[in-house]
Structure 1
Amino acid sequence: MAKSFKPKKDRSGKPNPRGPKPKSAPEPPSEVDMRLNKYLAHCGVASRRQAAEMIKAGRVAVNGSVQAEPGYQIQQGDEVTLDGNKLQPATRMVYLLMNKPKDVLSTVKDEKGRRTVIDLLAGKVIERVFPVGRLDRDTTGLILLTNDGDLAERMTHPRYKMKKVYNATLNSPLTKADLQKVRDGLELEDGPVKVNWIEYLSADKKQEISLEISVGRNRIVRRIFEHLGYEVTKLDRVYLGGLTKKDLKRGWWRPLTDQEVIMLKHFSRQA
């Protein structure tokens, strides 16, 4: 059973479920004259693009009326709800790094009752957070959870090319010819794709591959190898925008340090 982060104690000796407060955390945004999708992002619901999809789906209401336009301007005093639940802007930015186990969904909740990354927080985080991007249910490794919608937007936007490293195990050894094909770039059904680098994890185990990629398309690593006739039997994300799995056991999570938050924001601004 996956274990969760054990909160440190504050000066009073009582557990502090909030974790350390990042010095780099921005001040809460003003509610005046803000686009509706940006407001949802500041409430820790999702990135602006994901929030726009929620709005278009009719899940958001302003002052009791469904508002389907992401660009609708919120005014001070407006009441905004998502699925009937009132939203409030986040008063503190939270950044959590999780080593996701297999068979856990990268979503806030699941209609079928399956375990999600939020369930692994075990109620120890007061703020509303959401996963940045997605890992397949069968994929393990690093995923960021936050209520910083602006950072999530930059990390998932194709323009910023966030670097990610995966270790993959294939159902059969990857030939040198196919390794070179991946290096040269492939044409998939949804367009061309090229990795930053790819290599064997060891000379005598050519079923085990490591690669770095900045593309964020759905199931992209699995589809690269499926295109060449291989099946990915195991996939683990070991690096995310400068963050690694060091000292983070499977199923565990931890707050980012101030320095890591600054680094992540720096990497996500590089186009």
Structure 2
Amino acid sequence: MSDWIAAVILGLVEGLTEFIPVSSTGHLLLTKKLLGLPSGFWDTFSVMIQLGAILAVVVLYFQRLWGVFVRLPSDPKARWFAASVILSVLPSMAIAFVAHDFIKTVLFESIGLICVMLILGGFVLLAVDRWAPQPKEDDAMNMSWKRALGMGFCQVLAMVPGVSRSGATIVGGVLIGVDRRAAAEFSFFMAIPTMVGAFVLDFWENKDVLTSDNLGIIAVGFVVSFVSGLVVVKTMLDFINRFGLAPYGWWRIAAGLIGLGVLYFY
């Protein structure tokens, strides 16, 4: 397969799955396995194009985020929002700093683990969608520090590929009393520093792999990831409000079972 076609496919997978609770990392790893793409450059490629999806959030929420930034010196609410986002990402950043090599070299290499986590996470989404507690908080811009930190600790679970960063944070938020829409929106905000940090770390560790020969391929994946991410972010909140988390649960279960089938017969 042409590298350009592979870049488009992976860009679509990243953009379409980064912000929904189905595990973009798990889908990217399974897709690379199906396409027969080798490790090395394509592992770095998958991290590089995540920045495209994150840019989609920045673009769509730019006015709100810029408003927070310019009001930081004078508005306590703006400072509270910024502090809550920073607080929420500290646990995962601490774990990533300590266990980054183990996560990349051991957990990310276990396709079977990814498939199992997709399936288990699917059943969790189905259960939470049916038996979620009554929400007590519905404003992602005014999250209490306890709930922000709680969602941050839930994000740590996403270090295991197949768990889903957005899935862990949204489910965690719902379980501790955050409205589904607000939990999804706060998960978007958490993604910005989390994924930028992951991008910088992987870029630094793999800078020798990035050459002028493959920058064009990365650019294609980046753009595709950005455009598809825009579509998902614009539609996801209304979709969750209308249909809940169950459709994503069934998606995860189907993807995990297909992955196990491919792994068995491949």
Q: Same fold (TM over 0.5)?
A: no
The structure in which a higher percent of residues are strand is: 1
TM-score, normalising length from structure 2? 0.24
Higher normalized contact order (CA 8 Å, seq sep 6+, divided by chain length): 2
TM-score, normalising length from structure 1? 0.24
The structure in which a higher percent of residues are helix is: 2
